[in-house]
Amino acid sequence: MKSRMGGSTPQAWLAGLGLSPAKVNEVMNSFAPGSSPSLYLYGAGEVFVRFHGAKAASPIFLPNYWVDGSALGQAHGRASQFEGFLSDAEIARVAKTYYRDITAICHNWNDLKDTNLWKITLQGGETIEGLEGPIAAQPAFYPTATQPASASMLSGGALQVFLNPRTPLVCTPVDWS
């Protein structure tokens, strides 16, 4: 269950989380051009997922990018076309490739290790605030200090939610496989 939050702009909400103006711009630019990200209060029944490795810059429970749990269903649904032709392990790898594409996670941002998948499943009276909208396309490889961005693009389009979990107790590790 989710309900739209009023009384604040997305930029003011992000700044209220303690994000710098540069980080606020980064978050806003991570949504698809022309979209209007909206603030929501999420409750019971909502599921969010995120690949978050041990070397991540911040703990899992601090404000960060998550995706609506439906992105997993989209990726696995698209990969299911290969059932009967590929093994279950191969289908899981294909699904992860689709997941990377629709969530626009650059290869040099995150290697999407099977054991680095986390989920939030809200239950009972648990609530989380977030900024929701479609993910912008990203280069397959983000620019580095020595290399430009790749010309190939990840399509994005999945539903991204910049969440403020506030506590590690709602964040659960799961295994992709």
Structure token pair of residue 25 = 């711009």
Structure token pair of residue 11 = 């930029």
pLDDT at 177 (0 to 100):
75
Residues 50, 118 contacting (CB under 8 angstroms): yes
Residues 140, 85 contacting (CB under 8 angstroms): no
Residue 176 buriedness (CB in 10 A; 0-12 / 13-18 / 19+): middle
Q: pLDDT tens digit string along 34-75?
A: 999 999 999 999 999 999 987 788 899 999 999 999 998 899
Percent of the chain past pLDDT 90, that is, above it, reads: 73
Number of domains in the chain: 1
DSSP per residue over 63-120, as a string?
A: SEEEEETHHHHHHHHHHGGGBTTB-HHHHHHHHHHHHHHHHT--TTT----GGGEEEE
Residues 66, 163 contacting (CB under 8 angstroms): yes
pLDDT along the chain (177 residues), means of 10: 92 96 97 96 95 86 94 87 89 92 92 92 94 97 91 96 91 88
pLDDT at 167 (0 to 100):
87
What is the domain range of residue 62? 2-174
pLDDT at 89 (0 to 100):
87
In whole angstroms, what is the distance from residue 83 CA to residue 64 CA?
A: 34
pTM greater than 0.85 (yes/no): yes
pLDDT at 126 (0 to 100):
92
Residues 154, 140 contacting (CB under 8 angstroms): yes
pLDDT at 72 (0 to 100):
87
pLDDT at 54 (0 to 100):
78
